[in-house]
Amino acid sequence: MHPMLTIAVKAARQAGKIINRASLDVGQLRVSHKQQNDFVTEVDRAAEAAIIDILHSVYPGHAILAEESGHSGSAEAEYCWIIDPLDGTTNFIHGFPQYAVSIALQHRGALVQAVVYDPGRNELFTASKGAGAYLNDKRLRVAARKNINEALFATGVPFVGHGDHGTYLKELAAVIGTTPGVRRFGAASLDLAWVAAGRYDGFWESGLKPWDIAAGLLMVREAQGLVTDLDGGAGMLESGNVLAANEALHPQMLRLLKDAKKVG
């Protein structure tokens, strides 16, 4: 394992310990709103602080982009860690066991290391650029299905105050009319990791943040999948729009989503 990935794993596991302790009594958590339907808890903040402390103890010159504390460090730094300490906060505060710690590392703008850690299941997804993606010690590869009418897709539903619901409903109608199943579990980092693991055949969502998807993007690529924005481009971190699948399904899904937007 790459030394930088080793440190990221250590940080993710420490955050996972904080999350697991808090999950024993979520009813006692202090929850506040960042904006409508966007929650933050003391657990998010404590997990993020633990991650940053571990990363900076080894790499003090690296920049940080984190969900709760924002950007820190030099804008000229070659390395930047992108952190979501608790992806799926809404799930967490409802006791719904689908959430994860997500940590990615960029080097000169390119994603090079990634960790998605599911503390409830103790599932550790990791990836290093050029070295593959893994679940614990098992090498990952995206599912091999080639026909969209056999594929299981995951998605994210825009919540109140966010996203274009009209466009999304057109997309959803097109997908559920073509595929045997669509799932929505509310943690994009895990959705992408599960695409890498072949549990889903693909995933699409709009309006995400860099910390939601950075680790998962590298995970899918290193599992031999294809990931783009919804126009087929490479601007996922900028637009927050993502489509991930294998090389056979991706163009079929991209065409389906584009055609759906044209429906009156």
Contact 37, 159 (CB under 8 A): yes
Residues 106 and 17 in one domain: yes
Label residue 10 by pLDDT band (50, 70, 90). Answer: very high
72-81 average pLDDT score: 90
Q: Kindly tell me if the per-residue pLDDT of 33 is higher than 70.
A: no
Q: What is the pLDDT of residues 166-179, one digit of tens each?
A: 788 988 888 899 99
Q: Kindly tell me if the per-residue pLDDT of 97 is higher than 80.
A: yes
Q: What is the pLDDT of residues 202-229, one digit of tens each?
A: 999 999 999 999 999 999 999 999 999 9
Could you say which of 113, 139, 165 is where a domain stops? 139
222-247 average pLDDT score: 96
Task: Specify the pLDDT at position 37.
Answer: 42
Indicate which CATH number applies to the domain containing 26: 3.30.540.10
Residues 7 and 123 in one domain: yes
Q: Kindly tell me if the per-residue pLDDT of 40 is higher than 90.
A: no
230 compared with 264, residue with greater pLDDT: 230
Residues 95 and 196 in one domain: no
Dihedral sign computed on CA atoms, order 177, 180, 184, 189: negative
Residues 101 and 172 in one domain: no
21-45 average pLDDT score: 67
pTM, two decimal places: 0.92
Q: Give the chain's domain count.
A: 2
Task: Specify the pLDDT at position 38.
Answer: 45
Could you say which of 116, 139, 162 is where a domain stops? 139
Residues 156 and 118 in one domain: no
Residues 129 and 244 in one domain: no
123-142 average pLDDT score: 97
Cα–Cα distance between 215 and 236 in angstroms, integer?
A: 12
Could you say which of 111, 139, 167 is where a domain stops? 139
Residues 229 and 251 in one domain: yes
Residues 72 and 103 in one domain: yes
Radius of gyration from C-alpha coordinates of the chain: 18
Task: Specify the pLDDT at position 36.
Answer: 45
| β partners of residue 72 | 64
Residues 193 and 250 in one domain: yes
Residues 204 and 254 in one domain: yes
Q: Kindly tell me if the per-residue pLDDT of 34 is higher than 60.
A: no
Domain containing 18 equals 3-139
Task: Specify the pLDDT at position 102.
Answer: 98
Question: Kind of pairing, strands 70-72 and 63-66?
Answer: antiparallel
Contact 96, 77 (CB under 8 A): no
241-255 average pLDDT score: 97
Residues 88 and 122 in one domain: yes
Indicate which CATH number applies to the domain containing 181: 3.40.190.80
Residues 164 and 243 in one domain: yes
